[in-house]
Amino acid sequence: MTDIERHSYDVVVIGAGGAGLRAAIEARLAGKRTAIICKSLFGKAHTVMAEGGAAAAMGNVNPNDNWQVHFRDTMRGGKFMNHWRMAELHAKEAPERIWELETYGALFDRTPEGKISQRNFGGHEYPRLAHVGDRTGLELIRTLQQKIVSLQQEDYAATGDYEANIRVFAETTITEILSTGGAVSGCFGYYRESGDFLLFEAPAVVLATGGIGKSFKVTSNSWEYTGDGHALALRSGAKLLNMEFVQFHPTGMVWPPSVKGILVTESVRGDGGVLRNADGKRFMFDYVPDVFRKQYAETEEEGDRWYTDPDNNRRPPELLPRDEVARAINAEVKAGRGSPRGGVFLDIASRRSAEFIHKRLPSMYHQFKELADVDITKEPMEVGPTCHYVMGGVEVDPDTGAATVPGLFAAGEVSGGMHGSNRLGGNSLSDLLVFGKRAGDGAASYVAGLPARPVVADDDVTAAVQTALAPFERAGGPSPYEVHAELQQTLNDLVGIIRRQPELEQAVERIAELRKRIDTVAAPPGRRYNPGWHLCLDLRNMLMVGECVARAALERQESRGGHTRDDYPGMSADWRQVNLVCTANDADEVTVAHQPLPEMPRRLQELFERSELAKYLTEAELAAFDQAASAPGGSDAGAAQAGTADGRTATGAGEAGGAEPTGTSTAATDDGAATDGGEK
């Protein structure tokens, strides 16, 4: 048999972004020997690209913030498709996870009185994003890495071996999860540099592999986002939830072609930038949907006043959740009112001084100057939607991160449920910390409770080797780059921001054809430093995940969040009760089935006004809500507790697990701007 390097661990974490690192720390703290595996260099990963910040209701900048308000915002953003328990845990535990990062050495920006500073952001009621300038993700990764190094130093002091209990395998790709008797027994992969194979024997594997953006042509995502974790989960028998919900960030660069899709931070809009069409009109005022009407300004004057007086004015519609803004831009372009290069104009030049822009948006200034020769202090940017994030992912138990396959866990972008049909910006970084910790803990507890470790079967290893080497045996087959380009074009054209039945059917057909060709794609010879070979292996995953997105999008006959059907334009309360679940058989064939969405308990429903619930719930659900309210002991205090429907009235301080408000009440920052919002 081919030489294979063998390792044995208690917990293997695939992915070294925020979710993976936080999971690994927790597993090691629980006394488990832990491996961290990542495709790129340690310290890369998408998490490092996050700029805007991590959402956590600490109440440092506006004391009215607390977990209940954050929970409400998250559920509204996700259009009530979120797993309520995940949204609850996230809202309650995010502040603790941020404070914990400080104990690991993170240095967040401060308010004048010395608390962690918090930014405004699309869909968040109060300034809520803890941040470090415009490089929050870098600080998050740096801090978590540093914590891992400190744990390794402890291990060295105790054992003389830095890697006794936690070891990083960088530039290593996992291609298979192995299971024995229905439970995880390990995983298999290769070193990207040498092409040599590795086998990890481990009873618990945590998937923290991030998203799927590289299946789409225009994306803010990097080469690593090939949906590996999603596909690995499917192949090992786990379920993927609601893969139709893909977030198109409204503002990516549209020009020049070589940089199309690169993100333009939401901070531009948070700092006062506005969207205009070719006629110079601030068109977002025409696109405020009914569900959000009470919370957004109706005139430009009110929207502009909000920047300096957020307590007495409503926010401008440029700061609607991303799905709404992306659809509006799409509609303007389609109506012929777009910019010359097929986007719309994002204008901060006419709204803020050059000095302000240089200070607040230095990366954006350089990005446009260097890449597009546009001076954003003098002229508007041209922007359009770009594939940014996948809300769909592995179905997990909210409390432990356990997938439905024993021994398999998932956290971060690869997992599903938390963000419903649309993620609010800033909620990913806090999601990574909250559920990374929980998954690490869940995996460690699972291992501790195992009577015996499942043993990897030799046949499974042989099969993994054969699959990995197959592209070398197909001389003369199509290039993986061609197939990849076709897949990206297909998803972009047929499963993009606006979807229709005939196009989705065509997408499913084209993907089926591409999947036939995948069995013939050929890698250039030689395993050492061979990106063509790597792509052949990644393509399997991208096609499988692309099929899940297309099939689920075809199945869901409504429009909600990151899924817009031209032929079913409205939200349907009946469809809100349905999770679409993808599974795969041994031949990698995907099936989509309906599964009920877990029902939100009444204590959480009561955080919303009845009139707001009526926008999302079915008649039967509303009748049950009313009945419970009128029953002896039933409460109608929920609406009062939740504040007004527009959410501007404060609720009380957080309860157990939530944050105690500690700051002073102003959204203004020290340099005079009321908002700084924006995840890049």
Ligand X SMILES: Cc1cc2nc3c(=O)[nH]c(=O)nc-3n(C[C@H](O)[C@H](O)[C@H](O)COP(=O)(O)OP(=O)(O)OC[C@H]3O[C@@H](n4cnc5c(N)ncnc54)[C@H](O)[C@@H]3O)c2cc1C
Q: For residue 443, give every residue at least 6 positions away whose Cβ sits within 8 Å of its Cβ, in sequence order, or none.
A: 11, 23, 27, 32, 204, 205, 206, 401, 409
Q: Sheet holding 54-55: strands in order across? A: 54-55, 129-130, 118-119
Report the alpha-carbon distance of residue 96 to residue 400 in Å, rounded.
17
List C-alpha distances in Å: 266 to 311, 390, 631, 678, 680.
Answer: 21, 18, 46, 4, 6
Q: Are 244 and 508 in contact (CB under 8 A)?
A: no
Please tell me which residue in 119, 322, 438, 453 is annotated as part of the active site: 322
Contacts with ligand X in 253-272 (CB under 6 A)? 263
Residue 110 CB coordination number (10 Å): 12
DSSP code, position 263: B
Q: Considering only residues 28, 46, 70, 276, which one is a binding residue for ligand X as defined by CB under 6 A?
A: 46
By beta-carbon proximity to ligand X, the closer residue of 322 and 576 is: 322
Give the range of 218-226, 359-367, 472-480, 577-585 binding ligand X by CB under 6 A: 218-226
User: At residue 131, what are phi and psi to the nearest 5 degrees?
Assistant: -150, 165
Contacts with ligand X in 440-479 (CB under 6 A)? none
38 scored as a contact of ligand X (CB under 6 A): yes
- Annotated active-site residue 322? The verdict is yes
Q: Are 35 and 10 in contact (CB under 8 A)?
A: no
Give me the 52-71 binding string for ligand X, x by CB under 6 A, dash otherwise.
xxx-----------------
Give the range of 50-58, 90-98, 399-407, 548-556 binding ligand X by CB under 6 A: 50-58
DSSP code, position 650: -
Give me the 376-395 binding string for ligand X, x by CB under 6 A, dash otherwise.
-------------x------
208 scored as a contact of ligand X (CB under 6 A): yes
488 scored as a contact of ligand X (CB under 6 A): no
Q: Are 241 and 406 in contact (CB under 8 A)?
A: no
Q: Considering only residues 168, 326, 429, 554, which one is a binding residue for ligand X as defined by CB under 6 A?
A: 429
Give the range of 13-21, 361-369, 452-460, 549-557 binding ligand X by CB under 6 A: 13-21
Q: Are 347 and 276 in contact (CB under 8 A)?
A: yes
The secondary element (H helix, E strand) that includes residue 173 is strand 172-180
The least distance separating ligand X from the CB of residue 590, rounded to whole angstroms, comes to 19
**Spacing of C-alpha 172 from chain mean position:** 23
Report the alpha-carbon distance of residue 365 to residue 360 in Å, rounded.
10
The least distance separating ligand X from the CB of residue 39, rounded to whole angstroms, comes to 3
247 scored as a contact of ligand X (CB under 6 A): no
Give the range of 42-50, 82-90, 310-318, 599-607 binding ligand X by CB under 6 A: 42-50
**Spacing of C-alpha 61 from chain mean position:** 25
List C-alpha distances in Å: 636 to 80, 309, 402, 420, 641.
Answer: 20, 32, 36, 26, 9
40 scored as a contact of ligand X (CB under 6 A): yes
By beta-carbon proximity to ligand X, the closer residue of 220 and 339 is: 220
Number of residues that bind ligand X (CB under 6 A): 45
The least distance separating ligand X from the CB of residue 337, rounded to whole angstroms, comes to 27
24 scored as a contact of ligand X (CB under 6 A): no
432 scored as a contact of ligand X (CB under 6 A): yes
Q: Are 192 and 44 in contact (CB under 8 A)?
A: no
Binding site for ligand X (CB under 6 A): 14-20, 37-40, 45-47, 49-54, 136-137, 173-174, 208-210, 220-221, 224, 228-229, 263, 389, 412-414, 425-429, 432, 679-680
Which residues does the annotation mark as catalytic? Answer: 322
